[in-house]
Amino acid sequence: MAPSTATTMAAATAGDGEVDGSNAPAPHVMFIPSAGMGHLVPFFRFVSALSSRGGVRCSVVTVLPTVSAAEADHFAGLFAAFPSVHRVDLNLLPFDASAFPGADPFLLRWEALRRSAHLLGQLVAGAAPRVSAVVTDVTLASHVVPITKRLRVPCHVLFISSAAMLSLLAYFPVHLDKNGKSGVGDVVDVPGVRAVPRPCLPQPLPDLDHLFTKQFVDNGRAIVNADGILVNTFDALEPAALAALRDGTVVPGFPPVYTIGLLKSVGSHSGGEKAAAAFAAWLGEQPARSVVYVAFGNRNAVSHAQLREIAAGLEASRCRFLWVLKTTVVDREDDAEVRDVLGDEFLERVAGRGMVTKGWVDQEAVLGHPAVGLFLSHSGWNSITEAAACGVPLLAWPRGGDHRVNAMALVSGGVGAWMEHWSWDGEDRLVTRREIEEKVQEVMADATVRASAARVCEEAAMAVAEGGTSERSMQEFVSKLKAT
Ligand SMILES: O=c1ccn([C@@H]2O[C@H](COP(=O)(O)OP(=O)(O)O[C@H]3O[C@H](CO)[C@@H](O)[C@H](O)[C@H]3O)[C@@H](O)[C@H]2O)c(=O)[nH]1
C-alpha cells in the first residue's frame, strides 16, 4: 500500500495489511471521524493505538475541506506517522448554513457531514478489501449506524467524552419521551448514574428546536443500535456510570461498552515543534510543581473582560503560569495578538514567571512536565484525561457543552476541584480576579488534591498495562473485529 496517499471513493483500498497467525486476512476497520480538535485528537490516538498493535487494517475518512489549519496538520501528522493507515478522502457536499444563523461552526460542520452521510455509505460499500467494521464519531451516529445496518457491517461508536456524558446522551431521549409536553424540566435523573440539574446540561439542550439538541437526541437514540461503544475512560475512574451503562440501568439493551482509556498520543501528530521547544526550555527552568497551566481547549472563546480578570488573578496569585489564550471559536485562526488582548504592561510585569501564547501547544507534553502543578481548565474531556494520566490536579472552570457533566465526573474520580458557581458561557457574571487568585493559590497548596490526582495517575497506568481493565477491553474489541 502506498503510504499516505489519498484515494478516490472507487479506489478505496486498505492494501494487503497484516495477517494474524491463522493466515486469516486482517480485519479492515474504516474510521469516520468528525470535526473539532477535541474530537479528532482522541480519534487519532485510538487509530494509532489500534494500528500499533498490528493485525488490523485501518483506513481513515478525511473530510475535505478541514475546518482549521490545526485539523489539517493533525490529519497530515497521522498519515505521516502511520504510513500503513490508509487515507480515504471525502469531499463534503455544498451545505447552505443560512438556515442556522449564528450557529457554532463545528455544529454546522457536523450537520454538513450528516447530510453527506450517504457518501460515507458508498465509501464503506465500495472499499476493498471489504470493510469488516466501521468506527464512527458519535456526532454522526444517527446517520452512520443505519447505513452500516443496511450494509450489514458492524458499527462501533467512538465516544470522546466521559462515561457520565455518554449516560446522559443515551438516557436523554428516554427522559424526553417520559416527560412529554413538560420538555426537559429541572433535572435529568440518569438512572444509576446521577441527577444532572438543568444548569449543568449543555446550554442548548432545553431548547428542543435547537440544532444541537436535535443532533443530540437523534444520536442518543441511534447509539443504542450500535454494535459497541468505545469510551476514552477507565473503570476505576467512572465505576458507577460504566456499571449502569453495562447492566442496562441507563437504557435497557445498551450495546457493549469498551473502556479504552486513557488514550495517549503514539508517534508525533502535531506541528509547533519550535514553540514546544521554547515552552520545554522555560518549564525546565521552573521548580517542580510550581507552574499553573491555563487552557480552555480549542472551542472556547473567553470574553476580553474575563480574560483581563484571569490575567490579574494569575498575576496576584504570584504563581508561575503558562497560559494558552484563545479569543475565537475556530482553532487558532485568530489574528489578535497577545499584547492587544492583555496589554504590554501586563506582559512586562509577569515576564520570566508567566508565559502567554496563542499558538498550538503540545498540551500532553506540558502536562507531563514535572514543573506543572495545576491545570486551570474548561474541563473538556481530553484535557481531564490528559491531566489524570499525568497526575496533575485540575481546577475545573466549565465553559459550556459537556464541561459541567465532565466536572462532576472529575470530582468523583478524584482528579481535582470544580468551581460549581463560576459562570459559564451565556451567564453574565464575571469571575473576579480575587476569586481566581484565591482559588489558584488554595488548590496549588492542597496536598489532598495532589495526592488524589497522583493515585488516579497510578490507576490510569494500571488500566492500560497488561492485564488492566482497559487493556483487556481493547483485546476484547480486537478479538471481536477478528471474528467478523
Ligand atoms: O494548544 C493546544 C490546544 C489543544 N490541544 C489539545 O486539544 C485537545 C482539546 O480537547 P478538550 O480538552 O476535550 O477540549 P475541546 O477542544 O474543547 O473539546 C471538545 O471535545 C471534547 C471531547 O468531546 C469535549 O469534552 C469538549 O467539551 C469539546 O469542546 C486536547 O487533547 C489538548 O491536548 C493541544 O494539544 N494544544
Cβ proximity of 384 and 367 under 8 Å: no
Q: How far apart are CA 7 and CA 13, in angstroms?
A: 8
Amino acid at 345: E
User: How many CB atoms neighbour CB 27 within 10 A?
Assistant: 24
Burial of 188 (0-12, 13-18, 19+ CB in 10 A): buried
SS3 154: coil
DSSP SS3 for 182: helix
Pick the catalytic residue: 73, 104, 137, 331? 137
Q: pLDDT digit string (tens) for 229-240?
A: 999 999 999 999
Does the pTM exceed 0.90? yes
Contact 18, 54 (CB under 8 A): yes
Question: pLDDT value at position 267?
Answer: 66
The residue nearest atom 10 of ligand 1, judged by CA position, is 38
Cα–Cα dist 14/60, whole Å: 10
Is 89 marked active-site? no
Q: Any idea of the CA torsion for 195, 196, 198, 200, to the nearest 10 degrees?
A: 150
Cis, peptide link before residue 129, omega less than 30° from 0: yes
Question: Contact at 8 Å (CB) between 61 and 30?
Answer: yes
pLDDT of 288 reads 97
What whole-number distance in Å separates Cα of residue 71 and Cα of residue 244?
A: 35
Which pLDDT score is estimated for 273?
A: 59
Query: Which residues lie below 8 Å from residue 480, measured CB to CB, with a gap of 6+?
Result: 228
pLDDT of 36 reads: 86
- Predicted local distance difference test score (pLDDT) of residue 9: 35
- Retrieve residue 276's grid coordinates: 514546544
pLDDT in tens, 343-399: 999 999 999 999 998 888 889 999 999 999 999 999 999 999 999 999 999 999 999
d(CA 134, CA 124): 8
Complete domains list, the chain, with CATH: 5-266+464-482 (3.40.50.2000), 273-461 (3.40.50.2000)
Q: How far apart are CA 387 and CA 375, in angstroms?
A: 7
367 Cβ contact partners less than 8 Å away, ≥ 6 residues apart = 293, 375, 386, 387, 389, 390, 392
Please give the Cα distance from 471 to 464 (Å, whole number). Answer: 5
Tell which residue, 379, 367, 378, has the closest CA to residue 164: 379
The ipTM is 0.98
Residue 15 CA to ligand 1 center (angstroms) comes to 32
* Average pLDDT score over the chain: 90
For the chain, which residues score pLDDT lower than 70? Answer: 1-22, 267-276, 299-300, 328-336
Q: Ligand 1 mean position to 329 CA, how many Å?
A: 12
Centroid of ligand 1 to alpha carbon of 210 (angstroms): 23
Q: Locate the ligand 1 atom nearest the alpha carbon of residue 270 and give its number.
A: 35
* pLDDT at residue 106 in the model: 83
